Structure 1
Amino acid sequence: MSSRIEDYGLIGDCETAALVGRDGSIDWLCWPAFDSDACFAGLLGTHRNGRWLMAPAEEVTKTSRRYWDDTLILETRFETANGAVALIDFMPPRGSASDVVRLVRGVSGRVRIMMQLVIRFGFGIDIPWVKRTEDGALLAICGQDMTVLRTPVETRGEDLTTVADFWVGEGETIPFVLTYGPSHLPVPKPINPADALQATEDFWTEWCSHCTYAGEHRDLVMRSLITLKALTYGPTGGIVAAPTTSLPEKLGGKRNWDYRFCWLRDATFTLLALMNSGYTEEASAWHNWLLRAAAGSPANMQIMYGIMGERRLLEWEAGWLPGYEGAQPVRIGNAAHAQLQLDVYGELMDAFHQSRVAKLKLDDGTWDLERAVVQHLAEVWNHPDHGIWERRGDGKHYVSSKVMTWVAFDRAIKSVEQFGFDAPVERWRVLRDEICRDVCEKGFDARQNTFVESYGSQLLDASILMLPAVGFLPASDPRVLGTIAAIEQHMMRDGFVLRHDPREISDEVQPIEGAFLACSLWLADAYVLAGELDKAQALFDRVVSVANDLGLLAEEYDSGLARQTGNFPQALTHIALINTAHNLSDARKSAEKPAMQRSK
């Protein structure tokens, strides 16, 4: 049986990432990149679908774990009757190859350790050919993939598994290094584990030294920033939504999606989180990724792209994997990439405007793309779409989508006003006002005194919480206050905000999924703008209280089961945590003008 989602820790090298269980098992790793096939897929199946276990071969009386200060070096400590041992896991900043390093360090006494390495390429189905090299390393090859294991410990094969048993005493450190390389190239050269550990520590310590956030919960904000950096594909600057696929939004359910791609939806939130925390280099890289990915005809712009900017993210099912705790199907790729979601145009325009305001150096072609986007949006803003939550089926006139089309025109107009660009700004002002009237007339339910999910609906949707944050209406507007009150009445469970209205009965949202953690933080942001700082702080504290012992958060939280659900760790959740922490900190310094308002 898989570990609970929150029982995993994250290690990575800014090109891919692995999940390490509290039990010492690496149950998920896609190699060589985030969107590659997994060679350890035990997370979505059993140990026979691939894992790498390192743990005491005797009863463990206590387990604890931590990250080394501000790094992505994970230490898990096991205590037994005979002594204690520390397992240090990390992935060094990538050199000529990608490595996973596991150091078994004796803390006290003498402990017997077992190692089980099950490599299964192709998402847990392809069994490699294994042989020894001349220098004693263990080589595994299947198709395009190759791994090499180097360790001073003697290993042997048992039942298509590489195993070892060894003792570690106080003061001893025994290294294991697993390296990936393309099978058609020479075997990757060995690295020095001690030097790699120092280089990894130096890399993260130096990176974290640039953080400018000095408010409350700095440890959680820093951990969220490290997580965001770990989910960044270094060569392109693209940021994946999560390093996993098909972790269920509802345990045992069918809403299992592949999140190993880059969403335009997260663009502005991501830029604000990075820029406000002092990471302008990462913000610039993200902006440049956005510009390259969205290049071309605005009519063909997608809601998400691959880490290199790929556009075809074809969805298929890995039928041989039973799924996390039986949640099927296991999906690879994401068919939602082909949906029309009008909100992404607003996110793109907002992201570019915020970059300009923050004085990031932008490509000369950025404004030309923005003009083309707005020109296209003038023709399609009133079309139905699939909304921010990527509903499958017929499109609707989603309120949040329409609001983000308003944002697109608003930011384009502000860019003209502030930076002197040439554009048909009067026509854009007319369209901006027309969209505002349309939303207020058709997307507001006067009887309930709230904005709703879509035109003509009486149901709510958590994305409407962003109306004041994007500057569509001030938080003091009675309609916004009514919307907040309606969300509080109908959309909250055990103090957390649901994404979909629980009064809706449909195959897509029933049985009801867990609370959406980013949405809970969006409500906290709305409280900040409304001057309700104590309510905002209480909600923020409630969300961070469900982070695991390492400070990591998934997409959702099932309060009934007290478990995290959805893909993990989730970039959008950590981005929202960073931004809400900034909003609270800035608002307490200056209650008159919270810095989080995006309509600069």
Structure 2
Amino acid sequence: MTPNLDLAPIGNCAVSALVDRRGRFVWACAPRVDGDPVFSALMDGNDPDHGFWDVDLEGCVDVQQAYVRNTPVLRTVMTAADGASLELLDFAPRHPKHSRTYRPLAFGRVLRPLSGAPRVTVRLRPSADWGARRAETTSGSNHVRYLCTDVTFRLTTDCPVSHVLNERTFRLEKPLAFFFGPDEGYDQDVGPGVQAALDRTIGYWREWVRKLYLPLDWQEAVIRAAITLKLCAYEETGAIVAALTTSVPEFPESGRNWDYRYCWIRDAYYVVRALNRLGAVDILENYLGYLRNLVDASAGGHVQPVYGVGLEAEIDERIVESVEGYRGMRPVRVGNQAREHLQHDVYGQIVLPLVQSFYDQRLLRPGTIDDFRALEKVGDRAYEMHDQVDAGLWEFRTIARVHTYSSVMCWAACDRLAKAAEHLGLADRAGHWRARAATIRERIEKEAFLEDEGRFAASFGNRELDASLLQMTDLGFLDPMDPRQVATFDAIERDLKKGPYLFRYVEPDDFGEPETAFNFCTFWFIEALHLNGRDAEAREIFEQMLSRRTHAGLLSEDISLNDHELWGNYPQTYSLVGIINCAILLSRSWTDVR
């Protein structure tokens, strides 16, 4: 079976897995999202020997799959040629227990016969040593232990253990439960216990969804994006990862295979904006705590573009040879060299979300004067670096320029600090930051503006375009009707838009010319169309983007122009945020249903 990205994530904000259309676990890492893959089949060719967990129905001719409404609980129904059918329910437990949220490093599966006499084979083959081998096993009367690389899992089940160990085909005559979790005893009857966890998990997610703000239009798309955004959160620290996978290439044989299982600071402003629009304060407040910890750690100095979910700075990049890569396309990378880069937009990306804490009365922990003083150190760094070369938003590995977007983000940091200081009654600090913002603005308008074309360039002293220039309006640097922004928008539409999709840039970079469109940039373009009063066009392109989602309602990082196939890591936080933001911007008002 050739791997593809038509996958459905399940998870509980501690652990996650990707399940394919036939109900097969093909990707999951432990003990954290950036850990060693327990299920590695996604990265190991067309017919892997291990790294998966499937339930095979003998004579299967049809498979239907969908989420249980408003949850990340996945239901797969398989039907055989003789009419026998079964139901498979997959989930990661998440529900209240003992006055806290129970979210173990565990997956639950409930297997039920629906009609006839289905004959099934359960194959549970976890990986170890980054997919190099099957995990070793030991077994007891109703459990099997799997010795993976950094964690030992225990399968507790009311299915005959020998059926699992020997991968024996058997007749499914009653419901069976499987709990694949920590290596400890299961302190209740496994069937009723897993069913109770399933019911409580469904209840938790439905209650969470009902507290969200939803637009009138595209509610299903927004709900699915919101749930999956929450699955990309590592709740223990508040981090939100860029994606759940590593090394899915941006396009075939491109070498642009990156590990996105980390927390990128460049995402912060956009993630927080989406969380605000959803009213998802639980994720928002936890994420702000993660950012405050980074502020403390930086102490006014350098901030990396990317950190580990446990706030680790050391996420050095290496290449593993133990798996073949997605569809055999190497390299497979663990870690990310971007942590070594200079990327000066990060200072604005930290300041913009955190100033919210000085205004937002919903938060359990509002911002304090001490928080403001700490944040000023980040502002000092933004001012210091606003006209210095960096790798830019797109993390060029061999191209260093003074990128306009980075400078605009540094301006935004100073601008928002001025406004926050005024709100806090710190008049002298407000004046200080206004003056700094004015200085940066003057420099950008002088160095990045092309008089002959009346537009801005992507870097100081050069002429190239990139899609991030659309954000000059969103960040408040320019009014959308400012002639300079109109000209910049027109140039981007002319040079970077291919069909309905937008490229980040079209100039060759470290790996040659890009061949796929960047989904988040297309969402930026949709927002820009809206701000320019072109709502009909914006809605048309948005609908096209929604039509390109997987059956799970999600998008990866990139899309091919010719066949519309998804490429890049999945599910992509940027793309989830794009769906949420555009749907809320473009939807009809709730007053339209009166």
Q: TM-score range by the shorter chain?
A: over 0.9
User: How far apart in 2 are the matches of 1:442 and 1:141?
Assistant: 58
- Code of the residue aligned with 1:152 in structure 2: it is D
- For 2:500 and 2:179, locate their aligned partners in 1 and report how far apart those are by CA, in whole Å: 44
Task: Say whether the 8 Å CA contact 1:253–1:328 is kept in structure 2.
Answer: no
Aligned counterpart in structure 1 of residue 436 of structure 2, from 431, 441, 446? 431
Q: 2:359 — aligned with what?
A: 357
Does the CA contact (< 8 Å) of 2:556 and 2:566 recur in 1?
yes
* 1:582 equivalenced with 2:584 (yes/no): yes
Change over 3 Å in CA distance of 1:450–1:64 after alignment to 2: farther
- Code of the residue aligned with 1:278 in structure 2: it is G
Is 1:371 matched up with 2:404?
no
Q: Which string of whole-angstrom CA distances, capped at 9 and with x for unpartnered residues, describes residues 445-495 of structure 1?
A: 334443222123322111111110110000001111112211211111221
What SS does the aligned partner of 2:563 have? coil
Name the structure 2 match of 1:25: 24
> Equivalents in 2 of 1:333, 1:269: separation in Å?
23
For residues 403-423 of structure 1, what are the alpha-carbon distances to aligned partners after superposition, in whole Å with 9 as ceiling and x for unaligned? 111101110111122222365
Matches within 5 A, 1:544-563: 544-563=546-565
Deviation (angstroms), 1:189: 4.8
Q: What is aligned with 1:298?
A: 300
- Whether the aligned pair in 1 keeps the contact of 2:526 and 2:538 (CA below 8 Å) is yes
Pair 1:116 & 2:123 matched: yes
Give the CA deviation at 1:157.
8.9
Post-superposition offset of 1:400: 0.6
| Contact kept? 2:65, 2:76, Cα under 8 Å | yes
CA distance in 2, matches of 1:281, 1:303: 24
SS in 2 for 1:124: coil
Question: Greater CA deviation, 42-51 or 329-338?
Answer: 42-51
Query: Does structure 1 conserve the Cα–Cα contact (< 8 Å) formed by 2:529 and 2:535?
Result: yes
Instruction: Give the conservation status (yes or no) of the 8 Å contact 2:222–2:583.
Output: yes
**CA 1:542/1:41 → structure 2, altered by over 3 Å: closer, same or farther?**
same
CA contact 1:121–1:145 (8 Å) conserved in 2: no
2:401 aligns with: 396
User: Hey, what's the Cα distance between the residues in 1 that align with 2:177 and 2:161?
Assistant: 13
SS of 1:117's equivalent? strand
User: Does 2:479 align with 1:466?
Assistant: no
Q: Name the residue aligned to 2:167.
A: 163
Residue equivalent to 1:508? 511
Q: With structure 2 as the length reference, what TM-score do the two structures score? A: 0.92
Cross-structure match for 1:82: 82
Aligned AA (1:78): M
The match for 2:147 is 141
- Between the aligned partners of 1:586 and 1:90, the Cα distance in structure 2 is 34
Aligned to 1:579, the other structure's residue is in SS state helix
Residues matched between the structures, number: 576
Distance in 1, Cα, partners of 2:591 & 2:406:
33
For the pair 1:104 / 2:124, whether they are aligned, the reply is no
How far off its partner does 1:151 sit? 2.5
8 Å CA contact 1:153–1:166 kept in 2: the answer is no
Give 2:58's aligned residue: 57
Deviation at 1:45, TM superposition (A): 0.7
- Counterpart AA for 2:545: V
Distance 1:163 1:379, change over 3 A: same
Answer yes or no: is 1:477 the counterpart of 2:482: yes
CA gap 1:279/1:332 in 2 versus in 1, 3 angstroms: same
Helix, strand or coil at the partner of 2:154: strand
For residue 569 of structure 1, give the secondary structure of its aligned residue in structure 2. Answer: coil
Whole-angstrom distance in 2 between the partners of 1:250 and 1:123: 23
Taking structure 1 as reference, are residues 157 and 587 closer, same or farther at Cα in structure 2, changes over 3 Å only?
A: closer
Stretches of structure 1 that go unaligned for 5 or more consecutive residues are 591-600
Residue type at the aligned position of 1:154:
P
* Structure 2 counterpart of 1:318: 320
Once the two structures are TM-superposed, the CA of residue 530 in structure 1 deviates from its matched residue by 1.7
User: Given that residues 215 and 589 in structure 2 are in contact (C-alpha distance below 8 angstroms), is that contact kept between their aligned partners in structure 1?
Assistant: no
Cα RMSD of the aligned pairs, angstroms, is 2.2
Helix, strand or coil: the match of 2:56? strand
For residues 26 and 474 of structure 1, what CA distance do their matches in structure 2 show? 48
| Other-structure match for 1:596 | none
Amino acid at match of 1:41: S
**SS at the partner of 1:272?**
helix
Deviations 1:531-581 (A, max 9, x none): 221122122212111111221111111131321111111111101211122
For the residue of structure 1 that corresponds to 2:312, the secondary structure is coil
How has the CA–CA distance of structure 1 residues 303 and 143 changed in structure 2, closer, same or farther, with 3 Å as cutoff?
Answer: closer
Structure 2 unaligned residues grouped into runs of 5+: 95-100
2:72 partner letter: L
Aligned residues of 1:271 and 1:355 also touching (Cα < 8 A): no
Q: 1:97, 1:583 → 2: CA distance?
A: 36
Matches within 5 A, 1:117-516: 117-133=124-140, 135-142=141-148, 144-156=150-162, 163-169=167-173, 172-181=174-183, 186-187=184-185, 189=187, 191=190, 192-296=193-297, 297-359=299-361, 360=363, 361-364=365-368, 365-421=370-426, 423-501=428-506, 504-510=507-513, 512-516=514-518
Indicate the SS of the match to 2:349. helix
Question: Structure 1 residues 521, 143: CA separation in 2 closer, same or farther (over 3 Å shift)?
Answer: closer
> Once the 2 structures are TM-superposed, how far is the Cα of residue 588 of structure 1 from its aligned partner?
9.8
User: Following the alignment from structure 1 to structure 2, what is the Cα–Cα distance between the partners of residues 179 and 118?
Assistant: 14
Secondary structure at 1:414's aligned position in 2?
helix
Displacement after TM superposition at 1:199 (Å): 1.3
State the TM-score, normalized to the length of structure 1.
Answer: 0.91
How far residue 132 of structure 1 moved from its aligned partner, in angstroms, is 1.3
SS in 2 for 1:295: helix
Deviation track 1:33-66 (CA, whole Å, cap 9, x = no partner) reads 2122111111111423511121312242x22211
Aligned partner of 2:67 in structure 1 is 67
Distance, in Å, in 2 between the alignment partners of 1:321 and 1:142 is: 16
Instruction: Extract structure 1 runs of 4+ deviating beyond 6 A.
Output: 586-590
Instruction: Please state whether the residue corresponding to 1:64 is helix, strand or coil.
Output: strand
Contact 2:153–2:181 (8 Å) recurs in 1: yes
